[in-house]
């Protein structure tokens, strides 16, 4: 199995993805290619299975680290997920895409991992957080901004991470799948195992919770009014 990617930041421009129609076509092509690889892997072709891992491990890792907020835990979950996929290939009959099947396993394993008592005891351990204060002058030179602006961006990023951490797993999961992975509502519904309407409802409430959690950040750090639709 290939080494999992380093770094687990899920912050990116959520508007940078292509139209949903383009994503749908890309997913259809991907599903066809995955199907061929799965059939070869079922015959014992380890190279075909390695290709499946390489095609999907980065996105699987992004989902896991977005839910777990810890890179080491995310790697453990993704490795376990691919192990389960390998053992369960004969039982996979293509009722859903390989992509959907894998991500359902990753999501369920991540939620189970979060429920562990030892996991809950360490969630607030500040030593697990990355301290990047030493890099502020360097970031200032790279960005062409003064140090105060860089500090504000870091503070905003931390507030976003805290807001994500405060969401329940089922809300955090839909945010990651939709805004980071660019999945369709139907794909999300298949992965989570609920109706499309339930996914849309969860996403709406998750976005509302994030907006409310970030109101203070907009007021204090940007000296501006909170986003439209968010009450003061």
What per-residue confidence (pLDDT) applies to 134? 35
Q: Judge if 153 and 77 occupy the same domain.
A: no
Helices (H), 115-146: 117-122, 136-143
Do 38 and 117 sit in the same domain of this protein?
Answer: yes
98 vs 201: CA distance, rounded Å: 26
Which residues form the domain of 155? 130-232
Q: Please indicate, yes or no, whether residues 107 and 146 belong to a single structural domain of this protein.
A: no
Flag whether 185 is in a domain: yes
Query: pLDDT in tens for each of the 232 residues of the chain?
Result: 555 544 443 333 333 444 556 677 887 888 899 999 999 999 999 999 999 999 999 999 988 988 888 899 999 999 999 999 999 999 998 888 898 999 999 999 998 888 776 655 455 454 444 334 433 443 343 344 555 565 666 666 677 777 777 788 788 888 888 887 888 898 889 888 889 999 999 999 888 888 877 776 666 655 555 555 555 5
Contact between residue 191 and residue 25 where contact means Cβ atoms under 8 Å apart: no
Query: Exposed/middle/buried for 8, CB within 10 Å: 0-12, 13-18, 19+?
Result: buried
Q: Is residue 172 part of a domain?
A: yes
Final residue belonging to a domain, choices 109, 125, 141: 125
Q: Tokens at residue 210, please?
A: 């994030």
Decide which of 108, 125, 142 is a domain's last residue. 125
Task: Choose the final residue of a domain: 110, 125, 140.
Answer: 125
Instruction: Tell me, yes or no, whether 83 and 172 share the same domain.
Output: no
Q: CATH number for the domain including 109?
A: 1.10.1740.10
159 and 110 in a common domain: no
CB 111 within 8 A of CB 169: yes
Within-domain flag for 205:
yes
The predicted pLDDT at position 11 comes to: 36
**Same-domain check for residues 25 and 47:** yes
Query: Is 145 found in the same domain as 99?
Result: no
> Does residue 210 sit in helix, strand or coil?
helix
- Structural domain includes residue 1: no
Q: Which residues contact 96 (CB under 8 A, 6 or more apart)?
A: 104, 190
């Amino acid at each position: 199995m290939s080494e999992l990617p380093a770094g687990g930041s899920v912050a990116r421009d959520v508007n940078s993805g292509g139209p949903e129609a383009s994503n749908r076509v890309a997913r259809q092509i991907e599903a066809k290619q995955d199907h061929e690889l799965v059939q070869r892997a079922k015959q014992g072709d380890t190279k075909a299975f390695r290709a499946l891992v390489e095609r999907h491990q980065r996105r699987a890792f992004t989902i896991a680290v977005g839910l777990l907020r810890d890179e080491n835990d995310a790697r453990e979950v993704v490795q376990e997920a691919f192990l389960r996929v390998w053992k369960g290939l004969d039982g996979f009959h293509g009722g859903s895409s390989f992509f959907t099947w894998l991500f359902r396993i990753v999501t369920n394993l991540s939620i189970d991992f979060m429920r562990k008592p030892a996991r809950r005891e360490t969630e607030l351990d500040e030593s697990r957080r990355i301290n990047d204060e030493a890099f502020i002058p360097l970031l200032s030179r790279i960005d062409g901004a003064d140090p105060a602006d860089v500090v504000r961006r870091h503070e905003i990023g931390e507030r976003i991470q805290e807001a994500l951490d405060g969401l329940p797993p089922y809300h955090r999961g839909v945010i990651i799948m939709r805004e980071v992975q660019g999945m369709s509502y139907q794909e999300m519904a298949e992965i989570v195992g609920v109706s499309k309407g339930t996914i849309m409802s969860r996403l709406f409430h998750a976005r509302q919770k994030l907006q409310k959690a970030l109101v203070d950040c907009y007021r204090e750090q940007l000296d501006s009014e909170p986003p439209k639709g968010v009450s003061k």
